Amino acid sequence: MKKAKRIAIAAAGLFVFGVTSALAAPYQKAQSDGTYAAGNVRTDAEEEAAETAAVLRRGSTGGEVKEVQRRLKKWGYYSGSVDGIFGSGTRAAVIAFQKKNGLTADGVVGKATYKALGMTASYNVLAGTQSSSYTSSDLYLLAKTIYAEGRGEPYAGQVAIGAVILNRVKSSSFPNTISGVVYQKGAFTAVADGQINLFPDSTAMSAAQDAINGWDPTGGAIYYYNPAIATSAWIFSRPTVTVIGKHVFAI
């Protein structure tokens, strides 16, 4: 009797799991790394719920809040700790930023404020309108690397540096995260000489976002170098894909 009851309970559990999985299936698709990204079929209520979840307000915590604080601090709106806690100081800074940029000054970081902060890619990921596993912290590190390695280069050349980093993330020959690629030993001069710690400008931020959004001016390159200063004989042996500004992009 007990055995029969256990079998019945197990069967019921499998049924519930099957039903809930079937219901969830139209709205999610598995990515190769085991994470899930939003699919194309969502009701208006689900769209609204996702957008609401993406909003940052007093009481919110986490990496996205920290990124907002970091940007507001850099631009002179915020003087508190970059701690990822959305408190009264962060709210006041958001309001000041919103007023300066002609936005509704409600102290809430919604779609328009994300855009003004240069964090549209982050909002799209959080709201489920863009399939990406990159966070705003990834975006910021990518921008820092672009600025440190390529400031002064043509805009396409700056996007290209970001694309090379993302191409490495996708390659089995390199670490599978942006931070892993950037901080891989000996990979980037800017890390070795400390320029990685410089604040990126708005051009580098835009270039990073364009790279994350899929623009790859290199056509798949995983290396780049400046032939005027490169000293490695090996890098000159790599097949050239394109040249943008002072950089040769190669595979």
7-16, 101-110, 113-122, 189-198: least confidently modelled range:
7-16
User: For residue 11, is it within any domain?
Assistant: no
* Secondary structure of 76-134 in HEC code, one letter for each residue: CCCCCCCCCECCHHHHHHHHHHHHHCCCCCCCCECHHHHHHCCCHHHHHHHHCCCCCCC
Task: Please identify, among 81, 101, 127, the residue that sits at the C-terminal boundary of a domain.
Answer: 127
Given pLDDT bands bounded at 50, 70 and 90, which one contains residue 126?
low
Alpha carbon distance 168, 222 (integer Å): 6
Q: Report residue 243: phi and psi, to 5°.
A: -125, 125
226 and 146 both lie in a single domain: yes
Amino acid sitting at position 45: A
Higher pLDDT: 114 or 50? It is 114
212 and 164 both lie in a single domain: yes
Rounded to two decimals, the pTM is: 0.52
Higher pLDDT: 126 or 203? It is 203
What string of DSSP letters covers 200-216? P-HHHHHHHHHHHTT--
Q: Over the chain, what is the mean pLDDT?
A: 77
Task: Please identify, among 105, 127, 149, the residue that sits at the C-terminal boundary of a domain.
Answer: 127
CATH code for the domain in which residue 233 is found: 1.10.10.2520
Give the pLDDT score at 85: 92
pLDDT digits (tens, 9 = 90+) for 157-173: 999 999 999 999 999 99
What one-character DSSP code corresponds to residue 61?
Answer: B
Number of domains present in the structure of the chain:
2
Alpha carbon distance 13, 136 (integer Å): 38
- Which residues, in sequence order, are CB contacts of 41 under 8 Å at separation 6+? 26, 27
Residue 245 has pLDDT above 90, yes or no: yes
Residue 78 has pLDDT above 80, yes or no: yes
